[in-house]
Amino acid sequence: MTEHVTLDLGDGTVRGLQADGCLSFQGVPYAAPPTGERRWRAPLPVEPWAGVRDATVPGNRAPQSAQSFAEATSLDEDCLTLKVTVPETSRAGRPVLVWLHGGGGTNGDTSTFDARRLALTADLIVVEPTFRLGVLACFGHPGLADGGTFGLLDQQAALRWVRREIERFGGDPATVTLAGSSYGASMVAAHLVSPASAGLFHRAIMQSPFAVGGATPANAFIPGVPALPPRWRPLAELAEFGAATAAERGWVAPGSDTESALAQLRRVPVADLLEVSVDFIRPAFGGPVLPEPPAEAIAAGRFHRVPVLLGTTLDEARFFVGLFADLTGNPVTAESYPRLLAEAFGDAAGEVAGNYPLDRFATPSLAWSRISTDRAWARPAWELAGLLAAHTATWFYEFADRDAPPILPIPGFPGGAVHSSELPYQFDIPGGPPPSTARRELGDVMNRYWGAFAENGDPARDGLAAWPGFGAGHVQSLAPQGVGYTDYATEHRLDFWARTP
């Protein structure tokens, strides 16, 4: 039975829903709309409202265009809201998990996954903010304050909202876990080193972070894509690129001074801006929000010393090779395989081929998927965990259910434990098929681990398999056939990759 429930917040009263064992409040503003003259500015406080604000339906998605992996679109910049999911059983001081969605930095929103299963099984409060994406999050231009960090600033505003308001929901503002998947996981890494994020969260979870550290070789993310730099971009470089883009698009009149140029840019239609959104997904460092690249700061021990849980999936890259190569009619072939190797690894191509011979794989695309998984996902995540573990308690996992339901089914291409395939085990997907018994049981185990970590800073929990820390070299395999140690380094040939570009 669904019922309405109201709650008084600092800015006004909201009306949410009580159903299926949880209270849910959606579209709750945590900052003022970043519209008009507020475009590309740090978020401002919410204006209090009179009466009761409806919080029974999702807030607006951040502006985004449809992609092959995400059909949703939006042109509405009034998007700085969040969703709160709370177990209905009364309990004061519940731990809080703030979830940053993925989507490549250009897409995603809070309606993709239903957090009730996570909230109930883990016995915590889940807060899911919507934040600016793409060109509205990571644009830079000469004279633009905070260029390249508007998405990070939004997330910090959401964390400050949690600190102010979460006790009204029964949550503990001193027990906040910042968690994210894919792009959201990379943003968690940024918050680990951002000075303004200090004290806003107390544990961190990174599920399949990408490119937090060094560059990714050509083709190792997607066949045909050149080498990718680290996730972070120097602020001066971004400002120069933003100015060149604005001039090329005719968004700024030639000869405009800085103030006039920014005023013109704030009047450009959102639909026009989104045409270049994919070029602005790398947060900028060199300013007060992100003074230095997270990889460098973490390597030097200059980060917020909170416990960290991170990991990857067994077959991360199958998602990208299947979606962007095979599905487009351009699979990796025996003929293209040597060329891809040479472009990616230069003089080491022959040695890579010797470690990944085509006769060990059903198709060349699966061979390339394994190379990409090992080099672009497993190696950087392993190295990141080592840097973190030198200074703080760290736990590492691998999601390894090769029978996971495909996120995006690709005819004729084996799915496996691909990128983001663990999420339907932790969340429910609105409109998706109900989970199998084995899938639900594994998801419950994962959520219980996540809940223990959120509450205690350690995933250990009675009734679950032991999970030693990464400092002991332990990686926890999460699979229906068994949960426990896996030899991750051998499985992903990390000794080989440690000496290979």
Rounded CA gap, 146 and 127, in Å?
25
Rounded CA gap, 198 and 192, in Å?
8
- Residue 102 tokens read as 């993925």
CA torsion through residues 393, 305, 101, 409, sign? negative
Q: Is 436 labeled as catalytic in the residue annotation? A: no
Q: Is 316 labeled as catalytic in the residue annotation? A: yes
- Residue 410 tokens read as 């690709």
CA gyration radius, the chain: 22
Single out the catalytic residue among 191, 202, 304, 419. 419
Rounded CA gap, 377 and 208, in Å?
7
**Cβ–Cβ under 8 Å, residues 178 and 191:** yes
Single out the catalytic residue among 24, 65, 74, 182. 182
Tally of residues, the chain = 501
Burial class (CB in 10 A: 0-12, 13-18, 19+), 339: middle
CA atoms within 13 A on the CB side of 318: 26
> In whole angstroms, how far apart are CA 388 and each of 9, 151, 382, 483?
37, 24, 10, 24
Query: DSSP secondary structure string, 146-196?
Result: TTT-HHHHHHHHHHHHHHHHGGGGTEEEEEEEEEEETHHHHHHHHHHH-GG
Closest by CA position to 22, among listed 102, 94, 109? 94
Q: Is 474 labeled as catalytic in the residue annotation? A: no
Q: Which positions are annotated as active-site residues?
A: 182, 316, 419
